[in-house]
Amino acid sequence: MNSARFVVTGTDTGIGKTIFAAALAQAIGASYWKPIQAGLEDGSDSQTVAAIGGVPPARILPEAWRLATPASPHLAAEIDGVTIDPVALEPPEVAGPLVIEGAGGLMVPIDRRTLMIDLFARWGLPVILCARTTLGTINHSLLSLAALKARGMRVHGIAFVGEAHADNEATIAAMSGVRALGRLSIAELTPTGLAAAFAEGFDVGDFQ
């Protein structure tokens, strides 16, 4: 049985990592966990994963913290009157594979002392970095990968999200020395459409 566990993070917020996480969880039959959800008015990322990835409710794990304010977790928690304890955040034990999605990028604060990357480093799980393909991605991607490498973290690979840009994708992989896992072309955001896009852009064997 595939019992792989991955942390999915991004070079920035809003670059498609939730869509990729949904596609990955669907493809490998994984449970999905978003430790901290900040912003609930437009629905949660867990709801998005269930809707577009077709991941059944039994495999959508409850968030450790659900914050109403759409902001960085440290600020959202302060506005909501909540104290997040990063030490208490540990990956849940599940039967089978697990996909964990971070909030925003690597340098997003959880509280006034702890960054997302600090949490991921403590867990020691392989990280998949989601990156857009458009202008600016080389800078953001190389900075993110350098930060991961500086902490000695395991980088499973880069997952690009968006329309093809062969030179950007090749340049990031070559200059970082990190393999490009593939590219997810966002088209039809339905379970069927997402499955087809993942199968076209990735080799599921790379996630076993």
Spatial distance between the Cα atoms of 1 and 180, rounded to a whole number of angstroms: 25
What Cα–Cα distance (Å) separates residue 77 from each residue in 66, 82, 138?
Answer: 9, 5, 32
- Please answer whether residues 140 and 106 qualify as being in contact, where contact means their C-beta atoms are separated by less than 8 angstroms: no
Task: Choose, from 5, 17, 34, 183, the residue flagged as catalytic.
Answer: 34
Those residues with Cβ within 8 angstroms of residue 81's Cβ, 6 or more apart along the chain or in another chain: none
The token pair at 11 is 């070079």
Residue corresponding to tokens 């600020």: 75
Catalytic site includes residue 149: no
Catalytic residue positions, numbered: 34
